[in-house]
Each structure stands twice: as structure tokens, then as C-alpha cells.
Structure 1
Amino acid sequence: MTPPPARRRRTGANGTAPAHNLPRRGTVRRAQAITTYGVGSLIAVDHESFIVSGLDEAEQGWSLDESPRIHERRLARLLGVDCFRLPPASDDKSKDGLRVRRFPWTHSCPECNDLQGHRDFTPPAGRSVCGTCEVDLVPSRFVVACEAGHLGEFPYRQWVHRSKERGVTTTAQCGGKLKLRTSGRTSSLRSILVSCTCGQAAEVSMEGSFRRNALKDLGLTCRGSRPWLGTSAPAEECGRPLRTLQRGSSSVWQPVLKSALSIPPWSDGRADPLAEHWDTLRELDNRAAIEGALKIIFKGGSPIPLDEVMALLDAEREEDPDDNTAPTFDHRYRALRNKEYERLRSGNDESEHSRDEQFVCETPSGDQRVLEPLGITGPMLVKKLREVRALKAFTRLTDAESTTDSKEMPLSERPLRWLPAMEVRGEGVFLRLDEDRLAIWEKAPAVAARAEWMRTAHQRVLEQRADDPSRAAPSPATPRMVLLHTLAHVLVNEWSLESGYPAAALRERLYAADDMAGVLVYTATSDSAGSLGGLVAQGEPELLDRTVRSAVLRAEWCSSDPLCMETGMSGAGGTNLAACHACVMLPETSCEHNNILLDRALLVGTPEDPSVGFFRQVLTA
């Protein structure tokens, strides 16, 4: 018999190893890879479930053609990276895409009712079907997670073999197979029944598995599993309590997003070639040394004149602390917002800059005195803006806005010098409140009492979610912040009727501090629809006056009144007062604070005390 020919190893172009020919499952938009289906999140594709893989392999897997670099120096410095990367597209025409891993691994067969690992069903290659019944397998509906961000399989075997008398499990002597079936009597957890063929335990339902201490009573704690990093990733020491979650729950994954507007002198893109060299240049203390460094970095000559480099370094040092101490993350974030506020107030003229300028903010041509009775001043037309939103980390079980760094799960096992991000180019309207009138209004006892009520409730929530309540972040709730936040919401609702944009395509950016009282409402879409001109036209004083008056009048009444206005607390943790989905709440994509710290009464007053409302004169005019 003639022996078969020797097998030849396939090679790619120029004799290199071939690229991975991974099966393509489903599609997501690039923006969703930041906000919805980022690293560590669960994604359902047809009847299968996957978890988005970490970024450790993305450095080689993401090609620069489909995942270009994004530069925003101020945000990069805040997050401690050199640059950002746009996630690759995942449509049929793309060469790459987001890498995913199967999770949860536990599946059930609706025909034979077996409950076991996916591989134990011996499915054909590339398919998720039972090897015996040839029907589609069903991923486990339940997973477990801890507040540190770890994620694991639900412990069905321990749940079935728990001892009601002793509160312990008896899985050590079990060699049977698990079964899962649905009685069909109700749609509750009581109808989901799990059993074991070993005969040592009776069939039990999933009722009670979502109790806070359900898994703690079984003696189970978090083992630190990180399935998005693969099976080779070592588990971390954790030991925190585990919570049962439904696979599609929003608590399973919440992104930690940070954003910044591109403002001068960083907004024309000329500084991008220096993205990886700023840390080196900052260590040099004189002009000659910087000039020498530029000659070494760019052997063919620096693409940026030395004077511009010096100006950029000066602008960066303006955001450093005055006392030469090491800047904290909170300090840098406040400095980032302060500079944006200053630039939005001062503006710039489009005619003074090149066509590459990404920030154009102009004073409206109309008479601004018509806004004085409203207590609004300084409207600006932001005709061009660019925002970069970066995915810093993610959380589980806890709200990303109220968590501490210790509960943020990084996107990779080893530190990377970049983060995934997306660009938003669009337009907006910026306005400020009159400082003198605002200062008088803030001092009113009734106003301060309502704000203090919300601040206390929010602080209580922050302390409950913190590992150490004494180190919980302070609540930002002040009369000024709540007023600006609620005003932004009613303006978004009003402009969604006037500008041609849906409310979900508009976004707020608040500037609330002792020396700031401004609101920027801008387009939040990541395509060309974000710059149609319909929103920026609403910033002319005459139109803005009409819009604010209409928004305030609309906010005076809610279809849930009097319950909405008279409620003592509402929202998550009682962090709202007079606010509900029928009046001022917005889609989550539009709000910076997840629809908390809102109070319609601070705009229009209450029936008992109209003076609480900042815009009460509008209602009496």
C-alpha cells in the first residue's frame, strides 16, 4: 500500500503563520462595543451566549486599518494611556471583529433535560446542539457575580444537594447527572426544577436562589473567576459574597465610561504625532532640551513647530495642582471640566481656524437681553465639537457612577497603553445661569432642604456600596447641581420636539461647581446625523427664550401628579424627589447621572411654596 503524502503545514503570505479563521457569530456596532457589549459583557447571538474577551490579544488581533488610533491628549492623560483605539467593525465585510468566548458553559437540552457542560453534549463542530437529540442547546439562564467584578457559573450541583436541616451540601458523594425541566404551571422560578440522578436529593426549584444570602448559606464565596480572559487566566483571591443574576440582567455588566471634549489647543489634530512622547517631553525643563528631544524623536524633522510644542506643554501644566503635589484622578477630572467650561464661555470663531479645527463655538447674533428675565446668560452656539468616550473598566452589581476604583474590573490581565474608545462629532448649545440670581436662590432654606434630602439619600447609597463607608465618594448633590441637571433634562425633551433629533440622540454635559453653572446639550450620535444643524439653531436668544419658557411650563404639570410632585422620595435609593418617567427622566444614553438627583420642584416650585422654583417668574408672567 502506498503511504499517504506527508501533510504540509499551511502558511500565510510570505511564509508566515496563517491568520485565525474563527467563525463569525452576529454583529455589533462599534459604539456598542463601548457602551453595551464591551469587554466582560454577555452577548446573546441567536440561541447561544458568549462573553466578550479581554484586550490582551487585541494588540495583535486588531488591525490598524479597521481599528485606527484615536488621540485625545487630555483624556489620555487622565486615564494614564498613550492613545485610544476604535473597536473593529463586526459586519460581514470586516476582516476582524470582537473576540468572544462561550459563556456560560453550562447548558441544558430541552429534549432530554440534561444539564451539563457544553462540551459534554458532544455537539458537532461549530454548532450548539445536543449530540443525542439534535436540538438546540439552551445556555444557563443564571450566573453568579460579586461586587469586585468576577463572574461564574451558577452552582446547580450544590443547589440541588443542599441540606435543609444542616445548611450544607452533600455533593462529595454524588456521581449522578443533573436534570433541568420546567413544570409550565407558572412563569416564576418555582416552575424551574433541577434534580440529580444520584437519588440522594429531591427535585428542587430555583425559588429562593436570588436571595442575597442564598449562596452564602451554602458556604459558597467568590473564587475570583474571570471567564473573559480565558481558562489560562489564574483566578484571583476574592472571597466576596456571590449573588445570583439572570444572564441578561443589566447588573451583570455596567461600563465605566470617561469622556472629554476636544478643545484648543488640542482640537486641530496637529499634536497627534507626539501622543507617545508627552511623558518624555514633560520631564524636560527648558526649551533647548525639548528642541533636542524633538530632533531625536523625529529624525527627519518635527512635524510640529517648537513654539506650538511649548504652548501645548504650557496648556497641559495649567491643569496640574498649584502646590506641586501629585495630581489625583479626581483633581485631573475637575481640571478637565474646568478647562472645557472656560473654553465654552470664551468660544472661538470659525473664521480664525483651519478646516481641521474640531471645536467651533460662537456667540449668537441675536439680542441676549431677552434672556435676562429667565436668569439665563451667555448662550453659545457650538457649531462643531468632538467628544471622545473611552471604556476605562466595568463593574458588576454596583452602579458604575458610584463605585470605587477597587470595584472596577480592568479590561485586560496586564496593563495596556491604550483603551477602546469612540468619537462623537456633532453640535450643541451651551448656556449659563446668572450667578447673582443663582446665589440668592441657593440660600433659600426650602431650596437647601430639598437638595439636602437628596444628598443624604444619595450619600447613604454610596456608603452602602463602598467597601469602607468612611471612604465613600461625597455626593455631588447641591441645589445648583440638581437645578442644572433637571433643566438639562427638560431642555432635551423640548429640543427633541423642535430640533429634529430624538431624545436618545441628545446628551447633557453639566458644569456645576462653586465657580461654574453651565449646561451643554449636544448631539450624542456617532455618525454624520450628529451635525445636521437643527440643534445649534435653537441657541439663538429668541428661540432659546421660547424653548425655556415652553419647557418650564411643560414641567409644571406631570401626568402622575399629584403623586409625582408630593412624593417624599423616588428613583433608585430615593435619590430623586419630583421626577418620574412621565416628566423629566431621559433615556440612559442621554443622562450623565443615570436619572438620579432630579427635582422638578426646583424649576417650577411646589403648590405650597412656589418660591422654591428658580423659574417661578415664568409661570406668573
Structure 2
Amino acid sequence: MTPPPARRRRTGADGAAPARNLPRRGTVRRAQAITTYGVGSLVAVDQESFIVSGLDGADEHWSSDESPRIHERRLARLLGVQHFRLPPASEDTSRDGIRVRRFPLMHSCPECNDLRRHRDFNPPAGRSVCGTCEADLVPSRFVIACEAGHLDDFPYWHWVHRAAGAGATTAGQCGGTLKMRTSGRSSSLRSILVSCTCGVPEVSMEGSFRKSALKDLGLRCRGTRPWLGTSAPAQVCGMTPRTLQRGSSAVWQPVLKSALSIPPWSDGRADPLAEHWEELRKLSSRAEVEMCLKFAFKGESPVPIDEVMTLLDAEREEDPSGEDAPTFDHRYRALRSKEYERLRAGNDEREHSRDEQFVCETPLGDTTALHPLGVTGPMLVKKLREVRALKAFTRLSDPDSAVDPHEVPLSDSPLRWLPAMEVRGEGVFLRLDEDRLGSWEKATAVAARAERIRTAHQRTLEQRAGDPSRVAPSPATARMVLLHTLAHALINEWSLEAGYPSASLRERLYAADDMAGVLVYTATSDSAGSLGGLVAQGEPDHLDRTIRSAVRRAEWCSSDPLCVESEASGTGGTNLAACHACVMLPETSCEHNNILLDRALLVGTPEDPHLGFFSGILAC
């Protein structure tokens, strides 16, 4: 969050005021509007706190110049939308921006210690100060949320009056005024004291974070959705909410989905057809498609009919096979499988126009040097484009453990678009030798370690889900954990050797029965991923040295022997030999929130050094 500029009345690029001249409160980058400050998240600006509004009506107040459409058909089809839009830029010349609403509503005054709703302080227009003391108001540090995504103010009145048996009675019926003060004796919750002028005993906030704290008060979630405004009706919920710090990461977690632009979609020529694919998919013959295009464009189609038929064939190839009613996971795996095929096949730049957004070529050097390592098929991805879309968000649970009912939509009414960002960069793709990998996977010790991780992850998924029977199986297999840990080791190595910040490198895993590859790339929204430095690391001689160095570096951790001998680590025991001193990465670099990692599958353990897939490197 950047410091907000001076508050002023805004004007448009031509000097005219926007349709609604709303006050400006701060700025966020476009990428932050997807990953950090998306719909439903809390944003702190100076002494104030806001929640990012839903997307109802955003089509009208988001300017097409500042919030252009972007297209990625494969991802749009997966998410059931027609297109994507970049969030509006937050610049001094911007006509509009991301809408926010004040939340939490409960504030306290540090002078008079009153604790009440913001409007009850009678602040002057455009200011957040106490109407009596002229002191800056302090937003409540505490909010409550449930796993269904609802968010509400902390019930201070019920908390104070719990000893009087208030239960779930109407707040404020005692006629008193709530007060909040800090004793100053410590920084713990015990020092935050809340009272009421009606005469009930003063109580501290200690114990308010217990899972059963609000249940003991007889309170249930009211189903409020403040990001949609006061006009949005509360949903029937009934779950027991939990107390959270306003700035806690558990308050908001984005559900992000991404796709690489690959041929035949990667040259942008199919973009004019974005709104017509649903109709075109229903047609079977070339004549019907041609007639549909003439009707849709009132004449000649901007895309030749031959290219349209090729695009339709490519889309049908990506349909999940053998599934009568494919789920979202089935379709997402089919999307990844098609990317894997294209990364293996490559896409030579010399054969395409300059508009091509995906260039993947075979290295010039001799790749046989990598065969002793069990690595094959390296590819230099000289150009790539990735579109990352904000599908929904979750509260209290990680996105990868949420099932559909816990994914909170971004608007009250269905949308035909989603906010997204496009990033361009470069990368290195490599595969593991299938024969050697298959033999390694069958080892009893390898399978046992992978099963421990899978069992712990499955248990975590079931605990966090409202309906354990609907939880998808854990993706943790020996192959997947090995590829995941290898990707982290390579990112750490390239961060040290090639000068890339580790947060600017990302992984993309291709792990299944018929896939065993990993793409490490520099797709960022700034210039860090477009200088050619990472592609140079993919030449066989450089890659050989990198893998050997990464494996040797992973052999030892500053937390050993505790790390390598760990029986369980990470959230819910979903890691084994992995910690922040060895293979963990910044959260933005990892697809799985730093879980499903095991360094021992790379290098072995002191008791069983041959357990690791790359243990032969260490024996040299």
C-alpha cells in the first residue's frame, strides 16, 4: 500500500468530474488489486480502514481506457467467463479507481475512550475524527469471520455483558456507552479493557480468540457481507464465527487461477471472438460456423474461417477425456496437460510473427550431459505470457483447501468477466526421465515418505472442509513432492547465482501419471522477468552445474539434524524435511503455499542416503 496522496476533488482526463465525485483515499498497484487488496479484503490507509467493494456495477464505473479488457480463452473457458479486465490504475489522472467502504464500523477515541460506530462520533465530512475531542479515531483491531466468508464487527456489547447473562440479546439495550482503554502493563490482550457505563464490570479481551469464545456467548454468524454494501441482504449462515485481528492474513485469501498463453491462442488473433465462443462451440459444421460469424460481425469475420476451425479443434482437444460431467479439477488438469504438451514440443520464434507471445526452443548445447542426473528435455522459454485471474476469495482457510461452498464470489450477481492481470517473462522448462523416475517411485522407503505427507495433507483438507465427503484427494505423490522440492531448490540456486530476487521467480508444476516436468519462470509485472538472464541458465552446461550445486546445497540445512530428521513440519504436518532455512520460498513463488515439500526425496537421509532421486550426485 503506497502512501495516499493529498485528498482532493478529482477530475477526469478532460477536466470533467466523474459521474460520482468520490473522495480519494490512497493508491494500490494493479497487481495488488488481484493478490493483496482484492474484493473483500481490508485496506489500511493512514488511521483509517476500508474493505474493497464487490464488482457489482464495476462495468459502468471502470473506465475502458484505465481498465482494458484482456483475453485468454483457455482460462476464460475454465472459469466460465467471456473475458477479463485489468483493475483500474490508481494514478493522479485516474477518473475512478477501486471502490471501498469503511470497515470495521466500530471505532474508538484515544482521548475520551468511547467505543462506538464511526457515524455515532459525528465526525466532520471527509474526516475520521471524534466530533467532541477532535482526535483521530482508531478502527477496531478485532473483527469476526466465518468459513463461509462472512465478515462482521466484533460484538463488544455482548462480550462486556456476558457475565450478566446477556446472551444474544439486542446490543445496546442497557442504555450505556461502551468504553475501551489500554492498561499499558503489557502488549497482550489482557491489557485491552472494555467497559460499559451501565455499571457492568470491566473485562479484558483475553480469551476472545478461543474457537468457542463466541459460541459460549450464544452468538452465530449473521451472514453479513460488508463488501457488497448495506443494501446486500444478509445470508442465512448459522456458523460459529471466530475472532481475528483486522490485519490477519486469515481475514482474506485470494483464489487465483492462471494459464499460459500457448498456440494457437498466443498470437492474439482470436481475441475478437471472445464473446462468441459459446455459440460457436454448439456448431459442428464449417458452414454453420461461417454463417454464425457473418451474423455476429454483420459481414466478414475478422478471423479467417480456417483459423476459427483450428481454434475450435484445439479447444475440443482440451476437453477432459473419459468424464461425463467433468469437475473444475478435471478441467484444470486438462489445461495443464495441454501446456505440458506444448512446452515439450516447443514453438520456434523463427516460424511465427512478432505478435507471438509464446516462444519455446530447444537449447543449442548437448543435452546428453544431463542424462546422468535423470533430467531430460530442457527447453528455453524465451517469451511467455501468463494471465492470473481472481476467481474468488476465502476466509479462515487456505484456497487450496477450500471447497466450492467456501469460495466467496466477488459480486452479488453473476458476472461475465473477472479481474485479472497479465504478466510477461521467460523461463526454463525441464523434465525428469520417466524410466528412472518410475523405478525410484516404486522404492518402499520413497512411497512410505510420500504416503505420510499425503495422509497429513488429506487430514488437513478434511478438517477444514465443511463436508469432508466432498474434499478432492490430496495431490501429494512421490513424483509431485520431488518436482515441487526440486523447483524450490532451483529457485533458491538461481536467486543466489543469477542475481534474481527469489520473489520474482515462480514455479509451475506438471506432475501426474503422464507428466513429470517443472517450469521455473520470471513472470512478474515489472522488468525483472524480461532481461534474458534466466533463459541463459537453461543451456545444458549451465543447467548441469545449477542442478548439481542446488542438490549439494540442499544436502545440508542450518537447522539440521532437526530438519532432516523431522517426523512432520509445516501446516498440519504436510512437510517433512523442509523449513525456511533450506527449501521454503516466498509465498508468491510457490503454487502450494510452502507445503508438500521434502528435501529427503532429493538428497536422501543420513540413515538412507539412497532415498533421494539425486543421491548419485552426492556420491561423486
**TM-score bracket relative to the smaller structure:** over 0.9
What residue number does 1:103 align with?
Answer: 103
One-letter code of the match for 1:411?
L
Q: Secondary structure at the match of 1:599?
A: coil
One-letter code of the match for 1:459?
Q
Question: Cα 1:170–1:424, aligned 2, differ >3 Å: closer, same or farther?
Answer: closer
Instruction: Kindly state the Cα deviation for residue 314 of structure 1 after the two structures are TM-superposed.
Output: 0.4
Question: Cα 1:415–1:460, aligned 2, differ >3 Å: closer, same or farther?
Answer: same
What residue number does 1:142 align with?
Answer: 142
Instruction: Kindly state the Cα deviation for residue 281 of structure 1 after the two structures are TM-superposed.
Output: 0.6
Q: Secondary structure at the match of 1:212?
A: coil
Query: Does residue 388 of structure 2 align to residue 389 of structure 1?
Result: yes
**1:352 and 1:168 mapped to 2: Cα distance?**
70
What residue number does 1:602 align with?
Answer: 601
**2:226 and 2:464 mapped to 1: Cα distance?**
24
Say whether the 8 Å CA contact 1:161–1:169 is kept in structure 2: no
One-letter code of the match for 2:283?
L
Q: Secondary structure at the match of 1:193?
A: strand
Q: Secondary structure at the match of 2:563?
A: helix
Instruction: Kindly state the Cα deviation for residue 328 of structure 1 after the two structures are TM-superposed.
Output: 2.2
Larger CA deviation: 86-95 vs 392-401: 86-95
Query: Does residue 503 of structure 2 align to residue 511 of structure 1?
Result: no
Instruction: Kindly state the Cα deviation for residue 170 of structure 1 after the two structures are TM-superposed.
Output: 8.4
Query: Does residue 34 of structure 2 align to residue 30 of structure 1?
Result: no
**1:12 and 1:521 mapped to 2: Cα distance?**
42
Say whether the 8 Å CA contact 1:430–1:521 is kept in structure 2: yes
One-letter code of the match for 1:577?
L
Query: Does residue 617 of structure 2 align to residue 618 of structure 1?
Result: yes
Say whether the 8 Å CA contact 2:160–2:194 is kept in structure 1: yes
What residue number does 1:8 align with?
Answer: none
Question: Cα 1:168–1:36, aligned 2, differ >3 Å: closer, same or farther?
Answer: closer
One-letter code of the match for 2:316?
R
**Between Structure 1 and Structure 2, how many residues are aligned?**
609
Say whether the 8 Å CA contact 2:144–2:244 is kept in structure 1: yes
Q: How does 1:201-350 map to 2 (within 5 A)?
A: 201-323=200-322, 325-350=324-349
What residue number does 1:401 align with?
Answer: 400
What residue number does 1:60 align with?
Answer: 60
What residue number does 2:352 align with?
Answer: 353
**1:314 and 1:38 mapped to 2: Cα distance?**
35
**1:149 and 1:343 mapped to 2: Cα distance?**
38
What residue number does 2:576 align with?
Answer: 577
Q: Secondary structure at the match of 2:537?
A: helix
Say whether the 8 Å CA contact 1:572–1:596 is kept in structure 2: yes
Instruction: Kindly state the Cα deviation for residue 503 of structure 1 after the two structures are TM-superposed.
Output: 0.1
TM-score normalised to structure 2 length: 0.96
One-letter code of the match for 2:550?
A
What residue number does 2:410 align with?
Answer: 411
Say whether the 8 Å CA contact 1:180–1:192 is kept in structure 2: yes
Instruction: Kindly state the Cα deviation for residue 320 of structure 1 after the two structures are TM-superposed.
Output: 1.7
Instruction: Kindly state the Cα deviation for residue 173 of structure 1 after the two structures are TM-superposed.
Output: 4.5
Instruction: Kindly state the Cα deviation for residue 312 of structure 1 after the two structures are TM-superposed.
Output: 0.3
**1:408 and 1:350 mapped to 2: Cα distance?**
40
Question: Cα 1:165–1:93, aligned 2, differ >3 Å: closer, same or farther?
Answer: closer
Unpaired runs of 5+ residues, structure 1, are 1-10
**2:94 and 2:18 mapped to 1: Cα distance?**
17
One-letter code of the match for 2:130?
C
**1:482 and 1:555 mapped to 2: Cα distance?**
15
What residue number does 1:41 align with?
Answer: 41
Instruction: Kindly state the Cα deviation for residue 531 of structure 1 after the two structures are TM-superposed.
Output: 0.9
Q: How does 1:528-607 map to 2 (within 5 A)?
A: 528-607=527-606
Larger CA deviation: 16-25 vs 502-511: 16-25
Question: Cα 1:168–1:525, aligned 2, differ >3 Å: closer, same or farther?
Answer: closer
**1:192 and 1:512 mapped to 2: Cα distance?**
50
Say whether the 8 Å CA contact 1:267–1:359 is kept in structure 2: yes
Q: How does 1:128-207 map to 2 (within 5 A)?
A: 128-163=128-163, 173-199=173-199, 201-207=200-206
Q: Secondary structure at the match of 2:343?
A: helix
Describe the superposition over 1:370-406 as per-residue Cα deviations: whole angstroms up to 9, x where unpaired.
0011000000000000000000000000111111000
Say whether the 8 Å CA contact 2:73–2:265 is kept in structure 1: yes
**2:21 and 2:395 mapped to 1: Cα distance?**
32
Say whether the 8 Å CA contact 1:402–1:473 is kept in structure 2: no
Instruction: Kindly state the Cα deviation for residue 321 of structure 1 after the two structures are TM-superposed.
Output: 3.6
Q: Secondary structure at the match of 1:539?
A: coil
Say whether the 8 Å CA contact 1:224–1:238 is kept in structure 2: yes
**2:162 and 2:590 mapped to 1: Cα distance?**
44
Say whether the 8 Å CA contact 2:506–2:523 is kept in structure 1: yes
Instruction: Kindly state the Cα deviation for residue 524 of structure 1 after the two structures are TM-superposed.
Output: 3.0
Instruction: Kindly state the Cα deviation for residue 12 of structure 1 after the two structures are TM-superposed.
Output: 11
Say whether the 8 Å CA contact 2:12–2:93 is kept in structure 1: no
**1:385 and 1:564 mapped to 2: Cα distance?**
36
One-letter code of the match for 1:402?
S
What residue number does 1:422 align with?
Answer: 421
Describe the superposition over 1:558-593 as per-residue Cα deviations: whole angstroms up to 9, x where unpaired.
000000011110000010000000000000000000
What residue number does 1:6 align with?
Answer: none
One-letter code of the match for 2:154?
F
Sequence identity (%): 81
Instruction: Kindly state the Cα deviation for residue 163 of structure 1 after the two structures are TM-superposed.
Output: 2.1
Say whether the 8 Å CA contact 2:49–2:103 is kept in structure 1: yes
Say whether the 8 Å CA contact 2:488–2:584 is kept in structure 1: yes
One-letter code of the match for 2:566?
T
Describe the superposition over 1:332-365 as per-residue Cα deviations: whole angstroms up to 9, x where unpaired.
1011000000000000110000000000000000
Q: Secondary structure at the match of 1:315?
A: helix
Instruction: Kindly state the Cα deviation for residue 498 of structure 1 after the two structures are TM-superposed.
Output: 2.4
One-letter code of the match for 1:400?
P
Question: Cα 1:13–1:134, aligned 2, differ >3 Å: closer, same or farther?
Answer: closer
Q: Secondary structure at the match of 1:535?
A: helix
Larger CA deviation: 521-530 vs 335-344: 521-530
**2:416 and 2:173 mapped to 1: Cα distance?**
49
**1:323 and 1:124 mapped to 2: Cα distance?**
64
Q: Secondary structure at the match of 1:382?
A: strand
Instruction: Kindly state the Cα deviation for residue 319 of structure 1 after the two structures are TM-superposed.
Output: 1.5
Say whether the 8 Å CA contact 1:146–1:241 is kept in structure 2: yes
One-letter code of the match for 1:458?
H
Say whether the 8 Å CA contact 2:384–2:425 is kept in structure 1: yes
Say whether the 8 Å CA contact 1:70–1:83 is kept in structure 2: yes
Say whether the 8 Å CA contact 2:385–2:523 is kept in structure 1: no
Question: Cα 1:270–1:173, aligned 2, differ >3 Å: closer, same or farther?
Answer: closer
Instruction: Kindly state the Cα deviation for residue 245 of structure 1 after the two structures are TM-superposed.
Output: 0.2
Question: Cα 1:156–1:308, aligned 2, differ >3 Å: closer, same or farther?
Answer: same
**1:254 and 1:12 mapped to 2: Cα distance?**
33
One-letter code of the match for 1:105?
L
Q: Secondary structure at the match of 2:510?
A: strand
What residue number does 1:370 align with?
Answer: 369
Question: Cα 1:547–1:338, aligned 2, differ >3 Å: closer, same or farther?
Answer: same
Describe the superposition over 1:204-252 as per-residue Cα deviations: whole angstroms up to 9, x where unpaired.
0000000000000001011110000000000000001110000000000
What residue number does 1:5 align with?
Answer: none
One-letter code of the match for 2:449?
R
Unpaired runs of 5+ residues, structure 2, are 1-10
**1:124 and 1:165 mapped to 2: Cα distance?**
38
Describe the superposition over 1:587-621 as per-residue Cα deviations: whole angstroms up to 9, x where unpaired.
00000000000000000000000111000010011
One-letter code of the match for 2:241?
L
Q: How does 1:495-510 map to 2 (within 5 A)?
A: 495-510=494-509
One-letter code of the match for 1:367?
D
Say whether the 8 Å CA contact 1:222–1:239 is kept in structure 2: yes
**1:531 and 1:23 mapped to 2: Cα distance?**
37
